Amino acid sequence: MIKKFAVVLAAVLCCNIVGCGSREEGEKRTAASAAEDSEGNTEQKEEITIQGSRSSAAAIPDPVWNTADYSGYFQGVQGCAVVFDSKEDEYQVYNEEMCYTQFSPCSTFKIVSTLIGLETGILTGPDTTMGYDNTNYPVKAWNKDLTLQEAFQSSCIWYFRKVLDQAGTDEVQRQLNELVYGNCDISQWEGSGVNPQPQLNGFWLESSLLISPMEQVNIMSDIMEGRSEYVSGETEILKELMLVQEADGHKIYGKTGSGNAGDGWFVGFQEYQGKYFYFAFYVRDENAGGDGDKAEEIGIKVLTENRQTQ
């Protein structure tokens, strides 16, 4: 079933024209969306929306919105998914209300942290090394000097904590504002103390920064399709770091994220037959730790098993 979410898109347009949105604003958008859906109004409506980051003032044709049924992949796990075909300007949306709700990005923020480091010159490539401080970290792979590639693959928090601290609050805030990254809130710079070691905390880890799955997808497409300040050399390095699967003529690039509050993410994009599909898969279980691996498992199945029909 195809329908356009007029109320939600109008809210997104308004929010992004004025800047980053708060969690309260995000919840209002989800409530409005749910109200619209409950009315059973499936008519196509006239509205104006903005592509990608929605940061320009130019009107473009409306994208196509499809309600996807991925329940068989989630198998009773609470969650949602957005898959965006940039060539066709078409979205597949599963569990719409949750897709517009903002959550902590957790380790998916390493996508943007990498770009911040490259843009500022703190990072110069996959071999950029940060020195180990001899702290005994809970992940064995973190207990040594690490290159960017090693840190990204092992999702090392202290490495990216150093990158962001070197970039500084003003520059990080500027770049998040340019991306319109969720609520753009880095006010809890040192984090909420969710982890016992200070080097393993930050505003992106169950703290002040929040983002929705839909925002994750739109920002990912902005970055990879040249609608951000990041140049091709920087995004090519990011692609190299994000590659997780290559088979049968397609490549999947992604980053997981997990939180103690139950958040599990898999965010990235797929290349297939000359087309790009940007995605965000999110799972949530408040009675257990977050499971980014579960989100990745679901995402890869959806992307690989449905690509023939996309």
CATH of residue 199:
3.40.710.10
What would the pLDDT profile of 72-114 be if each residue is shown by its tens digit? 999 989 999 999 999 999 999 999 999 999 999 999 999 999 9
Confidence (pTM): 0.84
Catalytic residue, chosen from 107, 113, 212, 258, is: 107
Q: Is residue 287 part of a domain?
A: yes
Q: For this structure, is 192 an active site residue?
A: no
Average pLDDT over residues 211-216: 98
b/e per residue, 216-248, with b = 16+ CB within 10 A?
bbbbbbbbbeebbebeeebbebbbebbebeeee
Q: Is residue 160 part of a domain?
A: yes
Query: Quick check: 234 and 118 in contact, CB under 8 A?
Result: yes
How many domains are contained in the chain?
1
**Residue 138 has what DSSP assignment?**
S
Q: Is residue 153 part of a domain?
A: yes
Q: Which residue has the tokens 């308004």?
A: 14
**199: number of Cβ within 10 Å:** 17
Q: Is residue 264 part of a domain?
A: yes
Q: Is residue 281 part of a domain?
A: yes
Q: What was the pLDDT predicted at 241? A: 98
What would the pLDDT profile of 216-237 be if each residue is shown by its tens digit? 999 999 999 999 999 999 999 9
* Enclosing domain of residue 71: 6-309
Q: Is residue 1 part of a domain?
A: no
